[in-house]
Amino acid sequence: MNNPFTLFNKTILVTGASSGIGRSIAINCSQMGAKVIITGRNENRLQQTYIDLEGNGHEKVIADLTDLTQLKYMVVQLPKLDGVVSNAGIVKSLITQASEPKDVDDIFKINTFAPINLIQFLLQAKKLNRNASIVFISSISGVYCGAVGGSLYGSTKAAIDGFAKALALEVALRGIRVNTINPGMIDTNIFDDTSLSKEQFDEDVKNYPLKRYGKPGDVAYAAVYLLSDAAEWVTGSSLLIDGGYTLK
Amino acid sequence: MKEFIRNFANQFDDTDITEFESETKFRDLEEWSSLTALAILNMMGKKYNVTIKADEMKKANTIQELFNLLQSKM
């Protein structure tokens, strides 16, 4: 049977693949037949993702994407790509009153500048095949809603959504598609060091009509769809995946 | 400790500075909220370079107890 969601014969780059959403996306892409190139900063954890990939021919790159030299070097080494998932990012719960210019720089460097620089270099090095698919992992925060302590995080994500829309227009001529996925709270260890208590988390879960936080897989399946030919007429969209959170 | 009380009080907009003493039970303050709690956590991270989780903070009831917790992690 013809499977429109297959990623067979596609080469896909996934950034921030050592944990959480990125790890799940990388593994799911490999299970759907893709050749996956994963990046991450932590060698041990990236290796764990690498081991868990299905099939052969995958690659891993240890790189700090906020370092322009490393980023450029990585892009030059890459094969031609059919898909890019820009996922690497951090969450920082910081109220505006307590934040300083350096906090703005730090979070924008990782969440916004590095993803934009990555696309700049990929286009300049002509690493994207015709009909490639670019997926940014954004957020509901800053795009569909706000959160206390999330002014900086939300603005990094809103910037990505804005970037994606114009980029989608620019690359459409080559059949390249650009979309964002905007998840609600996903249960990953990215939240281990936030300032929410267990009770606050439990209380917050009640705000989700589907009665749970998201799982990395919820985002990964959407990424597989957007990367596949099933989504070949989908570009410039922001795919909301939030268990109904922003309905209220 | 004096400085800590000043930094603590500085996270409040409407509560008079005289209401903040080492034995003040800060959760009883009218202006206390989840937002001020986050402001205090952020303040401890910024001024003292100590990350305290909300769950840990729950153990402290007075400003003194919070200061003790902070010092134990410095």
Complex-level ipTM: 0.75
SS3 assignment, position B8: helix
Per-residue pLDDT, averaged over A117-136, amounts to 98
Instruction: Give, to the nearest 10 degrees, the angle between helix A43-52 and helix A20-31.
Output: 30
Quick one: average pLDDT of B21-31? Answer: 94
Q: Which positions in chain B touch A189 (Cβ < 8 Å)?
A: none
**pLDDT value at residue A195:** 59
Phi/psi at A83 (5° precision) = -160, 145
The DSSP secondary structure of A56-94, one letter per residue, reads: S--EEEE--TTSHHHHHHHHHH---EEEEEE--------
Alpha-carbon distance of B19 to B31, in angstroms, equals 11
- Determine, for residues B42 and A100 on separate chains, whether the beta-carbon distance falls below 8 Å: no
Contact between chains at B46 and A196 (C-beta distance less than 8 A): no
Shortest CA gap B72–chain A (Å):
18
pLDDT the model gives residue A196: 67
From the CA of B43, how many Å to the nearest CA of chain A? 7
**Residue A44: is its pLDDT beyond 70?**
yes
pLDDT confidence of residue A205: 86
Domains, chain A, ranges and CATH?
11-241 (3.40.50.720)
Tens-digit pLDDT profile for residues A179-201: 999 999 888 764 555 556 777 77
Size of interface A-B (CB pairs under 8 A): 37
Find all residues with CB under 8 Å of A146, minimum gap 6, and list them.
Answer: A154
Question: Best residue in A100, A103, A195 to probe B by mutation, most B CBs within 10 Å?
Answer: A195
CB-nearest to B38 from A95, A100, A198 is A95
- Say which of A50, A144, A153, A245 is annotated catalytic: A153
* Closest by Cα among A15, A243, A9, A28 to A132: A9
**Mean pLDDT of the A74-88 span:** 97
Query: Which of B10, B11, B41, B50 should we substitute to test contact with A (largest number of A Cβ atoms within 10 Å)?
Result: B41
At residue A1, the pLDDT reads 67
Return the pLDDT at A197: 72
Q: Is the dihedral of CA A185, A189, A192, A198 positive or negative?
A: positive
For B10, the token pair is 């500085």
Do residue B54 and residue A98 have CB atoms under 8 angstroms apart? no
| Whole-number pLDDT of residue A204 | 80
A136-173: pLDDT as tens digits: 999 999 999 998 999 999 999 999 999 999 999 999 99
Q: Element (H or E) spanning A182, and its range? A: strand A177-183
- Percentage of residues in chain A having pLDDT higher than 70: 96
Provide the pLDDT confidence category of residue B73 given band limits of 50, 70 and 90: very high
pTM for the predicted model, two decimal places: 0.91
Q: Which of B11, B38, B46 sits opposite A195 (nearest CB)?
A: B38
Ordered alpha helix ranges (H), chain B: 2-9, 34-48, 54-57, 63-72
Cβ contact (<8 Å) for B39 and A198? no
* Closest Cα in chain A to B40: A98
- Taking CB atoms and an 8 Å limit, are A98 and B42 in contact across chains? yes
A153 flagged as catalytic: yes
Dihedral (CA of A198, A204, A206, A212) sign: negative
